[in-house]
Amino acid sequence: MDYVGRALLGAAREMQRLMDGNLKKKGLSCAQIRVLGWLHEKNGRGEACNQREIARVCGGVRASSVTSLLKTLQARGLIVRQTGEDAREKLVFLTGEGLRLAEECKAFKEKVERTLVEGFTPEEANILYQLIDRTEKNLTAFAKVERL
């Protein structure tokens, strides 16, 4: 039944190609849009965000990598950094342009998500989600058994 794995991998690759193509058109990397999207959520709730939190969202990357990523976003006018209550703390906020780009990318992602289940009934889409979720859990358990 290796066709199931190939089918899932093929769909995942095509989705990634679409998402990467959209980011490339906007001159963004995956890490950059992850930060912009997260800031969109946090700032939208009226919450501040510091660089330490961003490092966690980026998968625990080094502080110097986060600083470089934020400098790039700031140079493009997508974020602003402000000193927090503690002078060592830097708070990060989206600019209007950063907000616009984050919303465009979110809308594109939602469009891709809708396209994934186009022609499916809501019940079929739910079943597909449950099956893929179970497949992921099976693979996670298998990886533990195989110590991978």
pLDDT digits (tens, 9 = 90+) for 69-110: 999 999 999 999 998 888 888 899 999 999 999 999 999 999
- Reported as a single tens digit per residue, the pLDDT across 104-144 is 999 999 999 999 999 999 999 999 999 999 999 999 999 99
Q: How far apart are CA 129 and CA 14, in angstroms?
A: 17
Distance CA 89, CA 146 (A): 43
The span from the CA of 51 to the CA of 36, in Å, is: 13
Which residue type sits at 145? Answer: V
Residue 80 Ramachandran class (φ > 0 left, ψ -120 to 50 alpha, else beta): beta
Confirm whether pTM is higher than 0.95.
no
Q: What are phi and psi of 121, to 5 degrees?
A: -75, 160
User: Confidence band (pLDDT; 50, 70, 90) for 1?
Assistant: low
- The sign one gets for the Cα dihedral 60, 63, 65, 70 is positive
| Residue appearing with tokens 């990886």 | 143
Extract the tokens encoding 103. Answer: 């919303």
Beta carbons of 48 and 93 less than 8 angstroms apart = yes
Number of helices and strands in the chain (H, E): 6, 2
34: closest CA among 78, 75, 64? 78
